[in-house]
Amino acid sequence: MRLADLRAPLVVLASAASAATVALPASAAIAQAQVPTQIVLTAAPNPISGPSIEVTISGVLETTGQASQPIARQSVSLTLWGTEQWFITDATGAFSEQQQVPALGVVTANFAGTAAYGPASASVRLTGTQGLPTRLKLNPIAPAAPLSQTVVTGTVQIQESGGTWAPASFAAVRDACPTPGSATADASGRFILPVEADPGAACTVTVSGEQAGPVWDTWYEDAVSGQVTVPLSTYPVWLCGTSGPTVSPSPVGTIGLATRACYQDSAGGVHPYPDAAIDLYFLAPRSGHWRLMARSSTAADGSAQVTVSGYLPGGGLAAGRWRFVIPAAGHYLGTGAKSPGFGVTITVPATLSRPAISRSGGRIALRGRLGYPRNGTISGATVTIERYRSGRWHAVGTTRTSARGWFRFRLAARATGRYRASYAGGPLPGAQAAYGSFLPAVGAAVRLR
């Protein structure tokens, strides 16, 4: 049976309410007619030297006043360690219970009252003469996922006078962890204590004896476990090195990027993560979709270097944001192990190709195409048309490229000589402008005859 963990005076006497001085309803009138009662409750021996001692808990139900009278044949409840028992008072109004006390605390007796007698209650605190040597025995802890809730289980024991270790029934157990927890042991001293699987956060489990003046509220003394570390079922993984270009991709042809992977063990130690799979993703501006560009793995020191092309299939440019991702693998928790997105500024060589003099309907023009390697086109760009004379090139006008990169500039029929197109360079198209630019370019010269 379990002791209710109450805190009350040694002996508490309760009586029926005194008569009111105003008119009472019917129920109150009945209560006014009841005879006031009290319970006198005692425990012997008290204080108690240990849990193997038999204790007699005795009580008397009687009327109040100087000439108190016992109340026989009435039902009285006795709350012992969380369990309620019922007794019928004898001819002297007495009732009693004998047993070995599993824990210290408060015992409470209650009389509900009858039509003739008012209700009453009383409590007695069971205390100890001493704290006994105490120990904590912890069970192996099951591995848990990082930062998940799990439990530490074990048993609290006290050493009795003969040297035998016995359960410390209902002992209060606490842990000293980043997220503190507490529990109460059962009658066999077993406890289940909630903890968090926090890598590197060592905990201790404690039991604290309670002494108030010359007596003890528990039979156990202070006890502290060794450091408790929750083993991890999966190891946290993250990118612990700088992620970014290893060389300046200017002009872009290939882009070299590097990073480093680490993991954390149960004790909080940080280690390089070798042979980890590494994925490299690219996010084009305004696309909203990360695109897998390359896969690699880490070396023994956790480092990885990946080289990718700066040109996308179809002539696009890999100008935007990049990031590394470590996929989950076995006991290594890679989910969410992503580097912050980082931009790589690139410069792209431009080309002025297919220069030619065209004639149509009596009109003469210089035409050509502005683009970049891998069949890319530069649209809406300004192209300058130049004519060679007096030993140098002179600008004679400008034109803009079409959506497919073509340009056309009308020439005067009598202005014969050598012509060429030049491009001063400019930003990458659209939202990619923040991530690089095109280099200047000069086309081959052609002659107008």
C-alpha pair distances (Å), 131 with each of 12, 47, 170, 344: 26, 12, 15, 69
For 294-331, the pLDDT digits (tens) are 999 999 999 999 988 888 877 788 889 999 999 888 88
Alpha-carbon 240 to chain mean position: 19
CA-nearest of 296, 342, 295, 292 to 322 is 342
Using the predicted structure, report yes or no on whether residue 21 has a pLDDT greater than 50.
Answer: no
Alpha-carbon distance of 283 to 286, in angstroms, equals: 8
Kindly state the tokens that stand for 146: 């990082």
Report the 10 Å Cβ neighbour count for 252.
Answer: 23
| Summary mean pLDDT of the chain | 87
pLDDT at residue number 100: 87
pLDDT at residue number 217: 86
For 380-410, the pLDDT digits (tens) are 999 999 999 999 999 999 999 999 999 999 9
Rank 21-25, 117-121, 200-204, 359-363 by mean pLDDT and report only the highest.
117-121
Mean pLDDT of 167-176: 90
pLDDT at residue number 243: 67
Alpha-carbon distance of 317 to 370, in angstroms, equals: 15
What amino acid is encoded at 241 in this protein? G
For 250-277, the pLDDT digits (tens) are 567 788 889 999 999 888 899 999 999 9
pLDDT at residue number 1: 31
Alpha-carbon 265 to chain mean position: 17
Residue 110, helix vs strand vs coil = strand
Please report the DSSP string for 242-304 in residue order. --EESS--SS-SEEEEEEEEEEE-TT--EEE-TT-EEEEEEE-TTT--EEEEEEEE--TTSEE
Alpha-carbon 371 to chain mean position: 51
- Domain at 134-224, CATH class: mainly beta
Alpha-carbon distance of 329 to 98, in angstroms, equals: 62
Report the 10 Å Cβ neighbour count for 133.
Answer: 13
Q: Categorize the per-residue pLDDT at 448 as very low, low, confident or very high, splitting at 50, 70 and 90.
A: very high
Q: Categorize the per-residue pLDDT at 248 as very low, low, confident or very high, splitting at 50, 70 and 90.
A: low
Q: Burial code of 336-346, b = ≥16 C-beta within 10 A, e = fewer?
A: ebbbeeebbeb
Using the predicted structure, report yes or no on whether residue 290 has a pLDDT greater than 80.
Answer: yes
Whether 235-345 and 26-126 are alike in CATH topology: the answer is yes
Pairing of strands 332-333, 235-239: parallel
Whether the ω angle into residue 47 lies within 30 degrees of 0, i.e. cis, is yes
CATH superfamily label, 349-448: Immunoglobulins (2.60.40.10)
**Cα dihedral 84→88→90→93 (10° resolution):** 70
Residue 85, helix vs strand vs coil = strand
Report the 10 Å Cβ neighbour count for 331.
Answer: 12
Q: Measured on CA atoms in the order 258, 264, 270, 271, is the torsion positive or negative? A: negative
In terms of C-beta density within 10 A (0-12 exposed, 13-18 middle, 19 or more buried), how is residue 328 classed? middle
Kindly state the tokens that stand for 207: 């039991």
pLDDT at residue number 249: 59
Mean pLDDT of 61-79: 95
CATH topology of domain 235-345: Immunoglobulin-like (2.60.40)
The domain segmentation of the chain, as residue ranges, is 26-126, 134-224, 235-345, 349-448
The CATH number given to 26-126 is 2.60.40.10
Alpha-carbon distance of 113 to 61, in angstroms, equals: 11
